[in-house]
Structure 1
Amino acid sequence: MGIPNFVDYVKMQLRSGKGGAGIIHFMRAKFLPKGGPDGGDGGRGGHIILRGNKQYATLLHLKYRKHVHAPNGQTGGDGCKTGANGKDVVLDVPLGTVAKSEDGEEILLEILEDKKKYLLLEGGKGGWGNAHFKTATHQVPRIAYPGEAGLAAWIVLELKLLADVGLVGLPNVGKSTLLSVISAAKPRIADYPFTTLLPNLGVVAYREQGSFVMADMPGIIEGASTGKGLGIRFLRHIERNSVLVFMVEATVADIGKAYALLQRELTAYNPLLLDKPRLLVITKIDLLDSTARADLVRTIPSPIQTLFISAHTEEGLTQLKDAIWQALHPVG
């Protein structure tokens, strides 16, 4: 499935609520003219909370909410009544969302579970009323505390798609075609580079009851890790993939050279990406005769498990799904 209006990055100014003030108050009744202190505490300020929601696939619904402020807590009342807490603000986000500091250096939260709430900014505590300060030697306290200030910060939300398998390759290598053939996804396909401008997800059925989620990423070119082409915008999604499938077209002059380029770009972005299990898939193999196929094998790098496929004729697709499944579910 393609993801319409895909938004995977938003920056928001968030502020939790201020705590309500405690009050100074003394009990007064007809037959109790000098009652003790009964000033109540202020209520807590509202929290800012992120909640995982598997129904969302993008951050589009938050794109235009630049400023989000939680309500303040209410002032305490007489009779030791605590003020009402400020209402929490709950922001639903897709699974795989990461909350970061404004500069992007510090990861604050990772949202991985559906319906689970994650506290992002805590509301300020309510201040104590004067009832809190009564002691045997200080029976008429005339002191109360104001509520604590809430927290304010610019927060970056980044979505990293949760997919089992990520397709990595140069533009126009056949990633979208493969996804369209082995899943129900309908990505945009054309015979020119950078047809895929947004990630596409597809659920691939395997054998009788198995399945896995595959993500087709926009093509990577040399210099992508420094911002060329579509740059690093979509490389972050690869960080969530359990298995990486490197795809190289059969008609390129040197398979090893093309594979090395993809490795360099991923390493420059995040060296840990190459610690993931990976496969090398040679696409469009139907375009080569037996002699050309034999010549092709000489340029394949080793050691890496290599498979030959044609999405057009469906050659090798069963073997590819078997290899992916085994990589996702290693024995021992």
Structure 2
Amino acid sequence: MHNLPKPMIEVDHLSKIYGSTQAITDVTFSVEAGEILGFLGPNGAGKTTTMRILAGYLPATSGTARIAGFDVHEQSLQVRQKIGYLPETPPLYPEMTVEGFLYFVARIKGVPAGDRTTKVKAAIERCNLQDKRHVIIRKLSKGYRQRVGIAQAIVHDPPAIILDEPTVGLDPRQIIEVRNLIKSLAGTHTIILSTHILPEVSMTCSRVTIINRGKVVATNTPEQLLTQLTGGSGYELEIEGEANLAKQVLLNLPGVSQVESIPLAGMHGYSPKDNRAYLRVISQPGVEPGKHIAAALLHSGFDLYEMRRVSATLEDVFLQLTTEEKNMQTEADSTTNEEEAA
């Protein structure tokens, strides 16, 4: 029997407490070799704390983390040789040139003297910095500084790379360039990409871990999360007639799991008119009841003005997960307060 290869990054029941504040609680996930994992959560969810523990900048209060088989706490030096880390603010020396800075980083990261030229050249090429190699870093745009930040993270060719909010503050063109650069690193490197920007995840990552209020609330591929949590796609309808009667007709159809009115504030591309009702029909996974919806409405005497297919987005999943958690926490807090009052 063959032993399955171990994940490149293993996080097991990690917790961190600052004084009386629980920053992360029982965080567990893994990243396979060559994979890009999106570490997704709202601001303050615990993403940066987790990244800093993995990078060896912070000790965990409890739990373990291993990178390339080495324990982050017990074997910190070996771990630092195996990772490249880009914090949210790139750790650059603004008075150095790009090339001089990367030689300096290669030296402190333990790259042998004979290999430094090759490694620096490779990092400069991968990050498309050839034209900027002799430019002083403080003269670079934010997008180029971010590239230098990624170059310093990969200059020693580590198997694992940790990127904390790598596109924050960049313009749309720079975001696309950095995103493409990150995608090009997959396969040869294992990457954790921490972000609260949803398109980042769906366009870059093969798997997603969502963290909220310091706890992991879901881990899966973006596609699986969409199917699991939103029940598939659906349809938006503009009809003339009584909305509640239309809902009753539609809920009797096979493949329809839910029908809801769309508030006018949530309409996209519609100009609301008198006597019109706007409905969203959620279909069951793997079912397309579109033709039955149209036929049933017309047969029941409703005028159908528009029908468009809508697919759930990662934003829907994210809001569903983080809102559910927030509501559960609010309920728990109010129960605790009632018990204390009693």
TM-score range for the pair, normalised by the shorter chain length: under 0.3
Give the alignment's TM-score, normalised by structure 1: 0.23
Give the alignment's TM-score, normalised by structure 2: 0.23
Structure whose residues are more often helix by fraction:
2
Larger Rg: 1
User: Which structure has more RCO (C-alpha within 8 Å, separation ≥ 6)?
Assistant: 2
